[in-house]
Amino acid sequence: MERAPAEPTYGVSVEELWEGSPDALIVVERGGRIRAANQAAHLLFGYPAHALMGRSVEDLVPDDLRDVHVGHRATFEGDPLARPMGIGRRLLGQRADGTSIPVHVSLAPFEGGTRTLAAVRDMTDWVDAEERLRRAERSRDLAEDHERIARELHDTVIQELFAAGIGLQALQATSPQPERLGEVVAALDGTIRTIRTVIFDLSSPVHARSGLRSRVDDLVGDVVRTLGIEPRCHFTGPLDTGVPDDLVEEAVAVVREGLTNVARHAGASTVDLRIDVADRLVVEIVDDGVGIADEPTRRSGLANLADRAARHDGTFSAYPNPMGGTVVEWSVPMPGAGA
């Protein structure tokens, strides 16, 4: 007759399992007094070794939840069954320093229900993962909305504006005010370009608040106090979705330097900032101040702007505006653009 296999001997003591558990293990007697806690429990809740023994388990619950916890504990002690604690609710524990942490708690009564073993797991990483998943889902939903809006703009609004422009051009030759009609057609063309930019942005992946348009908006808000006036901003193209990170940093530095120069030297009452993204990234700053000399002494700020353009095979110029003031132009090729 074949012998039954002998029971395996693992050679692991209860004490080794107790102290080796990655979860915090706490023994709580009826009434809520802690009778034992392993090393993981002291580490999780931030108490020195052996400092949890004799404390109330409510000390491990946030202050504003302790009264509620007392009621839940009394209910459990009346019908002690092994189960997870707080099913369907987000549980919080409180560390010795007063900070709260998300936790999962499993309860197992023993010794006739006079004592309960609570296994507590830190759920911080789990909660963080859930939040990342929620953000990803929100971004996906937002991207789907963007795609739908972009499609509707392209298929309806742009086509209708284009048809209106063609009709106005046909009337221009016989109109008593052809110049006025020409201005309207030009305005429609500008509107169509703006909508195409919006479509490009909407069709691109959703970006965080780190794109060029967002960075420049924040920067302009910061420099208004220094300038005493608010620059008029004109943006064309996919600033927030089409400009790589290295050029975003360069362009933001150019805008900062250019507006700072206006604040220090120009004495301007108006400032126009134009940023255009197409085959090239173009930053133009125009003010109506005192103007720049035809042959200005080389300022470190202007030299810095020229160096930033040269690093990207671009161009830089600063010259007097024929209408008064100064024009600063900084332009670099966009990656992948044709020669």
Strands (E) in 191-302, as ranges, are: 232-236, 271-277, 280-287
Map residue 330 onto helix, strand or coil: strand
Measured in residues, the chain has a length of: 339
191, 185, 193, 187: which is closest to 164 by C-alpha? 185
Q: Kindly state the average pLDDT of the residues 184-188.
A: 82
Q: Facing residues of 103 across strands?
A: 91, 122
Closest Cα partner for 207 from 238, 162, 250, 176? Answer: 238
3-state secondary structure of 283: strand
Strand 115-122 and strand 100-110: pairing?
antiparallel
CA angle 115, 117, 121 (to 5 degrees): 155
Average the pLDDT over 290-316 and give the result. 78
> Tens digits of per-residue pLDDT, 52-111?
999 999 999 999 999 999 999 999 989 888 888 877 788 999 999 999 999 999 999 999
* Cβ–Cβ under 8 Å, residues 301 and 261: yes
Provide mean pLDDT across the span 185-189.
81
pLDDT for 336: 72
Angstrom distance (rounded) from CA 265 to CA 330? 19
Q: Are the C-beta atoms of 264 and 271 separated by less than 8 Å?
A: no
CA distance 159 to 6: 83
**What Rg, from alpha-carbon coordinates, does the chain have?**
34
Q: Give the mean model confidence (pLDDT) for residues 171-189.
A: 82
Lowest mean pLDDT among 78-87, 258-267, 324-333: 258-267
User: Would you say 32 and 56 are in contact if contact means Cβ atoms under 8 Å apart?
Assistant: yes
pLDDT at 168 over 60: yes
pLDDT of residue 294: 56
Q: What is the mean pLDDT of residues 176-187?
A: 83
More confident residue, 312 or 163: 312
Of the candidates 296, 314, 294, the residue with the CA atom closest to the CA atom of residue 305: 314
Q: What are phi and psi of 133, to 5 degrees?
A: -65, -40
Cα→Cα distances 337→275, 279, 333, Å: 17, 5, 7
Q: Which two tokens stand for residue 75?
A: 């209910």
Q: CA nearest 213: which of 235, 190, 180?
A: 235
Burial class from Cβ neighbours inside 10 Å (0-12, 13-18, 19+) for residue 249 reads middle
Residue closest to 220 by CA, chosen among 187, 246, 258: 258
Backbone angles phi, psi at 155, to 5 degrees: -80, -20
Question: In angstroms, how far is CA 73 from the centroid of its own chain?
Answer: 41
**pTM for the full model?**
0.48
